[in-house]
Amino acid sequence: MDLFRELTAVSGEQNVLRNEPMSRHTTFRIGGPADYFVTPTDKEEIKKIIKFCREAQIPFYVIGNGSNLLVGDRGYRGVIIQIFKQMSKIDVDGEQIAAQAGALLSKVASAALDASLTGFEFASGIPGTLGGALRMNAGAYGGEMKQVVRSADVLTPDGEIITLTVDELGMGYRTSVISKNDYVVIDAILQLKKGNQEEIQAQMADLRERRVSKQPLEYGSAGSTFKRPEGYFAGKLIDDAGLRGFRVGDAQVSEKHCGFVINRGNATAAEVLELMRIVTERVEEKFGVRLQPEVRCIGE
């Protein structure tokens, strides 16, 4: 109760949940209860919550839309801090977009379209938030976040908010200084270019059609389950290993796109992890390539 009081004192009782099922907050639709689930409304609340957790040695984890996350079946012992709808403001100024970390990439893309700004079309179908996208330098169809971000405000483990330029963000394939140094994204400025609204809309529609036709969007998943090995494609390696459609319980290698592990309805985290283990071993046995998970795993 002391922890509950501390959290509600910072974020308000309406923004603190106890024993909250994480299956409600991940695109995998999998995960047991988090002891505490907090949705802060501004950067000061985030600072206070993290400072308290660190000083009290209480485990905590920051999430956005949960689009690249697998939570254990027994849940998470500690505090989940969700930066999402409560911090999703988007402002357009000329060729720049300033957005909070909880803004969905699809919403940012929509704002860019409305302002006839091009350069963000690649991200229009990625189901994550801006904060998560910057943390892992999310990308699709030849575009990636490092091409469009100008700067980001981040919270350091020491509780200081600093501004990092795109060069200082050190963005590489599915990595950045943010993930390496355990920073928390607060907001960012994106630099786009003026374009033709009809052409921008057409490109977004084309990418949407490609996603719908090639990806198993009708099922819960965390997107690409494995990182792309240098010189290979994870999905092709998995397919060539004879694992298309392979199942462990309700967890399955997608028949539509072998790079995705999907939840056919009632998959557990244990089933997903076992499937990932088998896939990793089979691919390594057959091709000598060890796949590395792209999805993040937390909890028990």
Q: What is the pLDDT of residues 39-79, one digit of tens each?
A: 999 999 999 999 999 999 999 999 999 999 999 999 999 99
Question: Residue 55's Cα: distance from chain center in Å?
Answer: 27
For β-strands 251-253 and 260-263, DSSP reports them as antiparallel
Residue 170 CA to residue 250 CA, distance in Å, equals 38
Residue 170 CA to residue 296 CA, distance in Å, equals 20
pLDDT (0 to 100) of residue 162: 97
Q: What is the pLDDT of residues 200-211, one digit of tens each?
A: 999 999 999 999
Q: What is the pLDDT of residues 248-296, one digit of tens each?
A: 999 999 999 999 999 999 999 999 999 999 999 999 999 999 999 999 9
Nearest 5°: phi and psi at 221?
-160, 175
Closest CA to 222 of 17, 3, 29: 29
Q: Could you tell me which CATH class the domain 216-298 is placed in? A: alpha beta
Ramachandran quadrant class, 199 (left: phi over 0; alpha: psi -120 to 50; beta: rest): alpha
Residue 22 CA to residue 73 CA, distance in Å, equals 9
Q: Do domains 2-85 and 216-298 have the same CATH topology?
A: no
**R_g (Cα) of the chain, nearest Å:** 19
Indicate which residues carry an active-site annotation. 174, 224, 294
Amino acid at 260: F
Section 128-144 average pLDDT: 94
pTM, full prediction: 0.93
Q: Cβ distance 149 to 189 under 8 Å?
A: yes
Q: Is the pLDDT of residue 33 over 80?
A: yes
User: What is residue 254's DSSP assignment?
Assistant: -
Burial 134-164 (b: 16+ CB within 10 A, else e): bbbbbbbbebbbbbbbebbbbbeeeeebeeb
Residue 147 CA to residue 35 CA, distance in Å, equals 38
Section 129-139 average pLDDT: 95
The residue assigned the tokens 């240098």 is: 230
First to last CA, the chain: 22
Domain 2-85 is found in CATH 3.30.43.10: yes
Residue 269 CA to residue 251 CA, distance in Å, equals 9
Q: Is the pLDDT of residue 1 over 90?
A: no
171-142-216-63 Cα dihedral, nearest 10 degrees: 20
Helices and strands, number each (H, E), in the chain:
8, 19
Band the pLDDT of 117: cuts 50, 70, 90.
very high
Q: Residue ranges per domain, the chain?
A: 2-85, 88-199, 216-298
**What architecture does CATH give domain 88-199?**
2-Layer Sandwich (3.30)
Whole-number mean pLDDT of the chain?
96
Lowest pLDDT segment from 88-92, 112-116, 155-159? 155-159
pLDDT (0 to 100) of residue 116: 98
Q: Is the pLDDT of residue 174 over 90?
A: no
Q: Is the pLDDT of residue 183 over 60?
A: yes
Section 17-33 average pLDDT: 97
Band the pLDDT of 88: cuts 50, 70, 90.
very high
pLDDT (0 to 100) of residue 220: 96
Residues near 153 by beta carbon (within 8 Å), at least 6 away in sequence: 43, 161, 162, 163, 164, 185, 186, 187, 188
User: What is residue 128's DSSP assignment?
Assistant: S
Q: Is the pLDDT of residue 246 over 90?
A: yes
DSSP-derived secondary structure for 151-210: EEEEE-TTS-EEEEETTTTT-BTTB-HHHHTT-EEEEEEEE-EE--HHHHHHHHHHHHHH
